[in-house]
Structure 1
Amino acid sequence: MLDAACDANRLGAFLKDRRERLDAAALGFGGRRRTPGLRREEVAQRAHISTTWYTWLEQGRGGAPSPRVLDSLARALMMTEAEREHLFLVGIGHPPKARTPEREGISGRLQRFLDAMPMIPATVATAMWDIVGWNRAARLALTDYEALPPGERNILRRMFLDPATRAAQRDWEPVARFLVATFRAGTARAGDDGRAAELVAELSAKSVDFRHLWKENAVQMTGEGAKTIRHPVVGEITFEFSSFAVDGRPDLRLMVYVPADGIDLEKMHRLCGSV
């Protein structure tokens, strides 16, 4: 009976567990205590909500909390990003919008993973299609991102505003449509902080093609696909690409471009200097 009750009130059980794990003295709360952790009124104080409302949440009463309240509780209880996501899942049935961390770039471990694929171009992109990580194969086959200023490493800007990038696509329109649709879906999921709106305004003013595609209101997940590029050294290369989430960085996704067949792989060997 007790297990069934706890399962029915997963939000309350999770809040109570995290409340009891905190060190009251370290957070500035004194007094003698019969139980570990913070008291309910102390959590309510830290979350800027009423003690009654917080008590109801632990007891499974009062209905579902708002995302704002859950965010406040996550901060008050000093939750990790994984714990915050779980709080939203048990509280309102869906994960929170992704938060872009303050740090920029990628970890050294992720960079070493990219570098371990000498013949397979790989990049790390934000929801806005800013490239923040790449390997040598990507520089040689796709774009030399290292030679570009950070503001010019945006794939949407390059695809719609740079004639050389456009000419390098054998099938420009499907690629452009894919980029716009995934940009719309990705930035909406991540939470638009204004930067996405600024990019849309800029591209709409400078590119008729972007303006037309944006008006289609298409959305698409990054997923998998294929693309062929025209390379100035080895000619056309076809890649099969796949997108992967970066654990712990919901603002990023890993894009891996695998040569489609033996001929394409041989061209990558030539580019990378292995034959």
Structure 2
Amino acid sequence: MEPTPDPRALGVFLRARRAQLTPQQCGLPTTDSPRRVTGLRREEVATLATISVDYYTRLEQGRVRASTPVLTTLARALRLNDDEERYLYELAGRTDDRPQRHRPAQQTRPAMRRLLDHLTHTPALVLGKRLDILAWNSAATALYTDFSALAPARRNYLHLMFTDPAVRKLHTQWTHDARDAVAALRMEAAADPTDPELTRLVGELSVRDADFRTWWAEHRVNSATYGTKHYHHPLVGDLTLDCDTWAANDNSGQRLMILTAQTDSPSHDALRILTSWTAAQTPSTEELKR
């Protein structure tokens, strides 16, 4: 049985949020008369939310429970971000009624696309949310697989780790690498647990692979941005590559994953041979299009 929401807590949050806004931010007219309160007045919030001042006052005082339509208009009026809106619905005890926001299709950042074009002998991927593979270069194709030949739903790093026999065989330490990938996805899930594509991915892999079911249930998380991967490629043999990822600073969730070998090492020579053999057969950059 879910706990009964405390209407007073909702009122505290509403007062705190309106105190952080100004009429100018909300497109309201300004006057020269002094304001007795910091931020928006109750009357202004009520106007923005198209509800009566009396009803809004009772909401702040905890004397009435907010309906779902009112929560929707309040979230818009108070300019709540996604986390704040989720918190609003939790305080009101209407988490299940919260509307799902439209999630725009992921598009590779132009700067990352240009960088991929310049990395000719270095495998590189652009990973999006849920470890989706958004873009790649010819060196990544040479190492892993022809991503352009895959259906869009299969262009996912974790999906390939568990369902593609060739990719799975490529990893000589598959158990270690796969568990780390599951832990990375588990950490992402905390930021957007209601993502329907995440639910679909986890559901499919849980049905298809017992190891995934076990590791997902462990709730292990991992945000490591570097490490070493060991591969055995059918064309050039063993490769030991350093794996580094850099996150974009635009809140897109995109990361650039680059695999490099120590200079003058056998892996460095093998990687150059591999990418040279395949450079003429694949485009320099492939990008997911939806």
TM-score by length of 1: 0.68
Partner Cα separation in structure 2 for residue 107 and residue 114 of structure 1: 11
Name 1:214's counterpart in structure 2.
216
Root mean square deviation of aligned Cα: 4.0
Asked whether the equivalents of residues 231 and 238 of structure 2 are also in contact (C-alpha less than 8 Å), the reply is yes
Residue 194 of structure 1, aligned match among 193, 196, 217: 196
Deviations 1:96-118 (A, max 9, x none): xxx88513221333211222222
The CA deviation string for residues 132-167 of structure 1, in whole angstroms up to 9 with x for no partner, is 122222122223212212111122221112211111
- Deviation by residue 1:153-190 (Cα, 9 ceiling, x = unmatched): 12222111221111111111100110111111112223
Relative distance call for 1:103 and 1:214 in structure 2 (3 A) is closer
Q: What is the aligned partner in structure 1 of residue 238 from structure 2?
A: 236
Q: Mark the CA change 1:105 to 1:250 in structure 2 (over 3 Å): closer, same or farther.
A: closer
Q: Tell me the residue number matched to 1:139.
A: 141
1:273 equivalent among 267, 276, 280: 276
Residue 24 (structure 2) pairs with residue 20 (structure 1): yes
The alpha-carbon distance between structure 1 residues 217 and 15, as it changes in their structure 2 partners (threshold 3 A), is same
TM-aligned CA deviation for residue 131 of structure 1: 0.7
Greater relative CO (CA pairs within 8 A, separation 6+): 2
Secondary structure of 2:252's counterpart equals strand
SS in 2 for 1:221: coil
CA distance in 2, matches of 1:130, 1:164: 18
Identify the residue that residue 47 of structure 2 maps to in structure 1: 45
Change (3 A) 1:136 1:218: same
Is contact 1:47-1:72 (8 Å) kept?
A: yes
Moved more, 235-244 or 246-255: 246-255
**In the alignment, is the contact (CA less than 8 A) between 1:124 and 1:131 conserved in 2?**
yes
Once residues 124 and 77 of structure 1 are traced to their aligned partners in structure 2, the CA distance between those partners, rounded to angstroms, is: 35
Alpha-carbon deviation of 1:261?
4.1
Residues matched between the structures, number: 234
Shift of 1:52: 9.2
Contact 2:17 2:78 in 1 (8 A): no
Partner of 2:11: none
What amino acid does structure 1 have at the position aligned with 2:184? T
- Deviates most, 164-173 or 153-162: 153-162
State the Cα distance separating 1:221 from its structure 2 match: 1.2
Equivalents in 1 of 2:83, 2:185: separation in Å?
26
CA distance in 2, matches of 1:254, 1:71: 36
User: In structure 1, the residue corresponding to 2:254 is in which secondary structure?
Assistant: strand
1:105 aligns with 2:107: yes
For the Cα contact (< 8 Å) 2:18–2:45, is it kept in 1? Answer: no
Q: Give unpaired runs (5+ residues) of structure 2.
A: 1-15, 34-38, 63-67, 86-100, 280-290
Q: Which moved more, 1:209-218 or 1:171-180?
A: 209-218
